[in-house]
Amino acid sequence: MKIKEWPATERPREKLQSDGATALTDAELVAILLGSGRQGQDVVSYSRQLLNEFEGIGPLLCADPNRLLAFPGIGPARVTQLQVVLELSKRYLKWQLKRNDGFTEPRMVKDYLTTQLRHQSREVFVVLLLDSQHRLLRYEELFQGTINAAPVYPREVLKMVMQHNAAAVILAHNHPSGVAEPSQADQRVTERLKKALNLVDVALLDHFVIGSGDPVSFAERGLL
């Protein structure tokens, strides 16, 4: 049965209009985005299959384009659609954090950093510079590679802090392995940066490690 033959209460677009986006499943939202399925398969069941293959909406949006293109029914136009959704989500979270006191809300910070870092194939070390109201001044991917081999971190971070007159800093990096547990090297770098920032009276609010599950907060672990 084609979607247009479904009861109106079960069609994704009609559900969206009557009940709002939060009432829709991930598959129904993806179905609206894609607009059509494949020959012999309606768009909702196709979207459900796509989500099953990529194990959820997050991995789907962050998936490598070549892997997406290998999935039946996904061409360059659909890859572009998914990339646009991911980038829009990043920019929306950044806007929220700039206009509100968002960096006092750990969940919002975790969501923002997850969208920025979880899809990265290499380890990336990030510095977030905040003003006195803990609003975002600048997001900077400062280093790539292994955190243990970065003796210039304090100097580079302090330079950025002074340049942008930041009042506080949040650090973050990803673990491409998917395991977000902080290493001893992570802890050593964090302690070194905390001491350096204290010299210029700038607070280090937190250090987040992003993996495949929930991000780990140094502050919540009592590691700061």
The ranges of the chain annotated as CATH 1.10.150 are 3-89
Instruction: Choose between 123 and 8: higher pLDDT.
Output: 123
As a whole number of angstroms, the distance between CA 57 and CA 52 comes to 9
Per-residue DSSP letter, 6: S
For the chain, state the CA radius of gyration. Answer: 21
In CATH terms, is domain 102-221 a member of 3.40.140.10? yes
What residue ranges of the chain are covered by domains with CATH 3.40.140.10? 102-221
> Residue 84 is encoded by which pair of tokens?
């646009």
Look up the pTM and report it.
0.66
pLDDT attached to residue 103: 66
pLDDT in tens, 72-97: 999 999 999 999 998 898 888 777 76
Distance of CA 48 to the CA centre of its chain: 22
User: What CATH architecture is 3-89?
Assistant: Orthogonal Bundle (1.10)
